[in-house]
Amino acid sequence: MAKIAARKLNLWYGDFHALKDVNASFEPKKITAIIGPSGCGKSTLLRVFNRMNDLIEGVRMDGEVLIDGANILDPCADLVALRKKVGMVFQRPNPFPLSIYENIIFGERIHGAGVTRDELDGIVEKSLKDVLLWDELKDRLQAPALSLSLEQKQRLCIARLIAVRPDVLLMDEPCSTLDPQATARIEELMRELKNNYTIIIVTHNMQQAARISDDAGFMLLGELIEFGKTDQLFTAPQDQRTEDYITGRYG
Amino acid sequence: MRNPRRTEKIAFFFLLLATLLIVVPVGLIVVIIIQKGLPAINWQFLSDMPRQGMRAGGIFPAIVGTIYLVAGAIIFALPIGLLAAIYLSEYSRENMLTRLIKLAIVNLAGVPSVVYGLFGLALFVVFFKFGASILSGSLTLGIMILPIIITASREALESVPSSFREVSLSLGASKWQTIRHIVLPNAIPGILTGTILGLGRAAGETAPILFTVAAFYLPQLPHSIFDQAMALPYHLYVISTQVPNVDEKIRYGTAFVLLALVLVMNLIAIVIRTRFRKKKKW
């Protein structure tokens, strides 16, 4: 069964129709990439899944988005529970101006009651190990997170997210501020994370989508033009517009 | 023929002159007050009751009165101002109501201080029957510094990057948790700075306390918030204009204490601000 399914999803910013009749299913423990030119609505689609678009004034949605069978567009949906389950990694690494340690246990501070120091230490260690930062940082956990390199910051943000124990990771161009080596290492990390999480990544970088994703979707002007296996989308696209985009005719 | 370099030099000269002119009065005030007031300062002057119709003795009750008034003003104005600032910056949406509130704050900042005094007299002293008391005076000063606190707090809250709020919400924090754990801690230095500047303003104003609290001559400390009290700015006014034959030293000594109090508060605000700027990295 699909982890996330969008059915006839429409979204408007005021009068602007940003998502048009989007239908897609996202498989558990797979990486699904969404590609398309700037302004096509791919970030908007991503932000539907944790309802971050709600922060923008004048947003309206209709249709259905089922996560584990429950419609998250339901007006009664519990946004706090949703966002614990569906976490997000942002384009710019954005650790809080706190220590490395405090960044990771932020979720625990918010959600956990009566967690002991030992348990917190355990969470920090496990989360940092999961993002392969533990060996680098274990001796300076109290250092300010803002002193880290960009790549370390982005890994830390992923660790901070993992510490909340989500099921789904939404990644909004997570490598766009990183150099090629750092990008490669983050991609490697994503392949690791795939074993435990359902990952949806929005990316500008078609090669990245081709390298790491199992499924892929191509969006244009608010429509999901084509959605399917990554291999097929890149080698034998069904739609002329997809082909034009991936062969670099525009975008 | 025109020489652009010389024109520029002349222009620079006048710009510098205008800027220096700002420094001159500040410097002169400080120098004169220190020169004439410092000789009056000793332990007795700071800790003794005024005597012989304020022509001798100290200014202790006026110092205490001012501290009480300032503390009272802040106890009243900081929570209300901060909560209002949080509402305006974090919760409210742009509409008629918030525009009206913002307009009210701007206008509140522009009201002459003597009008606050009259307002305090009408509302707190007469209508609520608090009488001329520390309570009435503190509330009046509190209303006067409310716009300073709201404006400074709003700026401090709004300077916290919105990406922090976004991340916090995306990690499943509620809006209030986000404000409490992320926004407020990062805004506190700015809020403190604004609050201290408000304190300095409250300590120095005469008009708002004129009808609401200030005692002409009260050589004892207040016992409760319903007592009248002496206060430095009003005391200075009294011994300068209402009491004949007061030694110049006492007047300038009082002015020195008041000025020192306000300058020290401003200095603290500046120190907090610079420390924070150095630490801030986003």
Residue B51 Ramachandran class (φ > 0 left, ψ -120 to 50 alpha, else beta): beta
Give A52 to chain B, closest Cα distance, Å: 7
Q: Which long-range contacts (CB under 8 A, 24 or more apart) does B237-245 make?
A: B237/B206, B238/B54, B239/B54, B242/B216, B243/B53, B243/B54, B243/B55, B245/B55
Q: Which of residues 76-95 of B touch A (CB under 8 A)?
A: 93
pLDDT in the model for residue B48: 87
Give B118 to chain A, closest Cα distance, Å: 43
**Is it the case that residue A106 has pLDDT exceeding 90?**
yes
* Separation of alpha carbons B90 and A218, rounded Å: 36
CB distance from A146 to chain B under 8 Å?
yes
ipTM score of complex: 0.90
pTM above threshold 0.80: yes
Per-residue HEC secondary structure of B191-242 comes to HHHHHHHHHHHHHHCCHHHHCCCECCCCCCCCCCCCCCECCHHHHHHHHHHH
CB distance from B167 to chain A under 8 Å?
yes
Which chain A residues have a beta carbon less than 8 Å from that of B93? 57
- Beta bridge mates, A10: A62
Q: Which of A167 and B274 is assigned the larger pLDDT? A: A167
Tell me whether residues A110 and B167 touch, CB distance under 8 A.
no
CB distance from A138 to chain B under 8 Å?
no
CA distances from B155 to A34, A112, B5, B183 (A): 38, 32, 42, 12
* Separation of alpha carbons B2 and A32, rounded Å: 71
Closest partner residue to B172 (CB to CB) among A55, A83, A97 is: A83
* Separation of alpha carbons A236 and A224, rounded Å: 17
CATH topology assigned to domain B60-279:
MetI-like fold (1.10.3720)
Tell me whether residues B172 and A160 touch, CB distance under 8 A.
no
Type and span of the H or E element at A119 = helix A117-130
Which chain A residues have a beta carbon less than 8 Å from that of B95? none
Tell me whether residues B281 and A106 touch, CB distance under 8 A.
no
Kindly report, residue by residue over A143-190, the tens digit of the pLDDT.
999 999 999 999 999 999 999 999 999 999 999 888 999 899 999 999
Residue B4 Ramachandran class (φ > 0 left, ψ -120 to 50 alpha, else beta): alpha
* Separation of alpha carbons B113 and B207, rounded Å: 6
Residue A251 banded pLDDT, cuts 50, 70, 90: low
Tell me whether residues B177 and A110 touch, CB distance under 8 A.
yes
Strands (DSSP E) along chain B, which ranges?
Answer: 50-51, 56-57
Kindly report, residue by residue over B28-85, the tens digit of the pLDDT.
999 999 999 998 888 988 988 888 888 888 899 999 999 999 999 999 999 999 999 9
Kindly report, residue by residue over B188-240, the tens digit of the pLDDT.
988 988 898 899 999 999 999 999 988 888 888 888 889 989 999 999 999 99
* DSSP category for residue A228: E
Closest partner residue to B170 (CB to CB) among A50, A97, A109 is: A50
What chain A holds in terms of domains, given with CATH numbers, is 4-246 (3.40.50.300)
Contact B173, A110 (CB under 8 A): yes
Integer-rounded Cα radius of gyration of chain B: 23
Tokens of A92: 């710019």
CA distances from A103 to A110, A143, A145, B187 (A): 12, 11, 7, 18
Mean pLDDT, residues B128-141 taken together: 94
Residue B1 banded pLDDT, cuts 50, 70, 90: low
Tell me whether residues A50 and B282 touch, CB distance under 8 A.
no
Bridge-based pairing state of the strands A31-35 and A198-202: parallel
* Separation of alpha carbons A37 and A14, rounded Å: 22
Tell me whether residues A97 and B173 touch, CB distance under 8 A.
no
Tell me whether residues B172 and A55 touch, CB distance under 8 A.
no
Residue B182 banded pLDDT, cuts 50, 70, 90: very high
CB distance from B5 to chain A under 8 Å?
no
What letter represents residue B165's amino acid? R
Integer-rounded Cα radius of gyration of chain A: 18
pLDDT in the model for residue A248: 84
Going across the sheet that includes A215-220, the strands are A70-71, A59-67, A4-13, A16-26, A223-229, A215-220, A31-35, A198-202, A168-172, A86-89
Instruction: For chain B, give the percent of residues with pLDDT over 70.
Output: 98
pLDDT in the model for residue B243: 86
Q: Is the dihedral of CA A163, A168, A171, A174 positive or negative?
A: positive
Residue B282 banded pLDDT, cuts 50, 70, 90: low
Residue B111 Ramachandran class (φ > 0 left, ψ -120 to 50 alpha, else beta): beta
Kindly report, residue by residue over A197-213, the tens digit of the pLDDT.
999 999 988 899 999 99
Nearest chain A residue to B182 by CA: give it. A96
Tokens of A136: 């680098």
Cβ neighbourhood burial of A66 (10 Å; 0-12, 13-18, 19+): middle
Contact B199, B74 (CB under 8 A): yes
Strands (DSSP E) along chain A, which ranges?
Answer: 4-13, 16-26, 31-35, 59-67, 70-71, 86-89, 168-172, 198-202, 215-220, 223-229
Kindly report, residue by residue over B136-173, the tens digit of the pLDDT.
999 999 999 999 999 999 999 999 999 999 999 999 99
* Separation of alpha carbons B272 and A137, rounded Å: 31
Closest listed residue to residue B187, CA positions, set B103, B85, B271: B85
Classify A168 as helix, strand or coil: strand
Cβ neighbourhood burial of A7 (10 Å; 0-12, 13-18, 19+): middle
